Amino acid sequence: MKIVTYNLNGIRARLPRLVEYLAEQKPDVLCLQEIKCADDAFPISDIRAAGYDGVWHGQKGFNGVAILTPEKPPTLRRVGLPGDPDDSHSRYIEAEVDGVVIGSIYLPNGNPVGTEKFAYKLAWFERLREHGVELLAEERPTVLAGDWNVIPTDSPDDVFSVRAMAHDALMQPESRAAFRRILHGGWTDAIRARYPDGAHYTFWDYTAGCWQRDAGFRIDHLLLSPQAADRLLDAGVDKDYRGREKASDHAPTWVRLED
């Protein structure tokens, strides 16, 4: 079972990449982020024409998440993260696929540091941790997949330049502590479980020739519950999609679980 997370950076602008990915990789579950479209603008007919269906939580202009599956849509469990009824951002959707619980996450970027945006990021992180505790209590195979907007460590395996990114919200001690606190609650970072070392970047900025000089970092993560981690066969990044025409700035990142 191949479960993928892919921050599209605009589903309409990226429709050729999306359809191509479905045809070439045939994921069993595809979690999307930054679809950047309202619910009624979601291109479901194109997705159905590609043999997939889905559930989505859109928003005009920015944010927006979805979960796609072959043939029929997954069983929707939740739209939006609990804990703040005033949160208007579309950043979380949760569904069940073949007995596996899947959350598609678009965690707030949080830049610039020291503003309300950074405070919102940390608050959202904590709400996600609390929801994760509820999910773990179910003791089921569960995957929280998405753009977590956090670079876990200073290692060159996680970030091309500590100096260049030092003041970014993705690298702040508070962001990392929030991520670690979730991991320490019992979740497994799939890429690092499969590959303790080695650069597995998932994002390369459009500016400054970052892709051409491999100036990337690792922010798209799949966190596994113990019941999912027991079934982990492989994990990786489909890096070549970043180098294609009209590419997203993220690459699809995936796990394969034993059926």
Partner DNA sequence: ATGTCAATACAATATTGA
Which amino acids are annotated catalytic? 106, 147, 250
Among candidate residues 131, 77, 129, the one with its CA nearest the CA of residue 99: 77
Q: Binding to DNA by residue 246, rule CB under 7 A?
A: yes
Q: Is 48 in the site for DNA (CB under 7 A)?
A: no
- Binding residues among 14-33 for DNA as defined by CB under 7 A: 14
> Interface with DNA by CB under 7 A: which range of 20-28, 34-42, 68-76, 150-158?
34-42
- Distance of closest approach, residue 174 Cβ to DNA, in angstroms: 17
Give the list of residues 6+ apart from residue 250 with CB closer than 8 angstroms, or none.
6, 7, 8, 9, 147, 202, 203, 220, 242
209 binds DNA (CB under 7 A): yes
Q: Per CB under 7 A, does 38 bind DNA? A: yes
Q: How far is CA 89 from the centre of its chain?
A: 16
At 207, which amino acid appears? T
Binding range to DNA, per CB under 7 A, among 35-43, 77-85, 125-133, 183-191: 35-43
User: In the complex, what is the shortest distance from the CB of residue 106 to DNA, in angstroms, rounded to a whole number?
Assistant: 8
How big, in percent rounded to 5, are the helix, strand and coil portions of the chain? 30, 25, 40
Q: Is 24 annotated as a binding residue?
A: no
Distance CA 227, CA 67 (A): 21
Residues in CB range of 247: below 8 A, 6 or more apart: 17, 241
User: Considering the complex, what minimum distance in angstroms separates the CB of residue 62 from DNA?
Assistant: 5
For residue 60, give both structure tokens.
Answer: 């005009």
d(CA 124, CA 141): 23
11 vs 65 by CB, closer to DNA: 11
Residues 97-136 that bind DNA (CB under 7 A): 108-109, 111, 117
- What does the angle CA 36 – CA 52 – CA 97 come to, to the nearest 5 degrees? 95
Asked if 12 interacts with DNA (CB under 7 A), we say yes
Q: Which of 1, 11, 50, 143 binds DNA (CB under 7 A)?
A: 11
DSSP 14: T
- Buried (b) or exposed (e) across 7-23, using 16+ Cβ within 10 A? bbbbbeebbebbbebbe
Known binding residue 63? Answer is no
Give yes or no for residue 225 binding DNA (CB under 7 A): no
Contact 94, 74 (CB under 8 A): no
**Is there binding between residue 162 and DNA (CB under 7 A)?**
no
Q: Least distance (Å) from DNA to the CB of residue 14?
A: 7
Shortest Cβ distance from residue 239 to DNA (Å)? 18
Q: Does 36 bind DNA (CB under 7 A)?
A: yes
Residues lying near DNA in the complex (CB under 7 A): 9-14, 34, 36-38, 41, 60-62, 108-109, 111, 117, 206-209, 212, 246
Annotated binding site for Mg(2+): 7, 34, 147, 149, 249-250
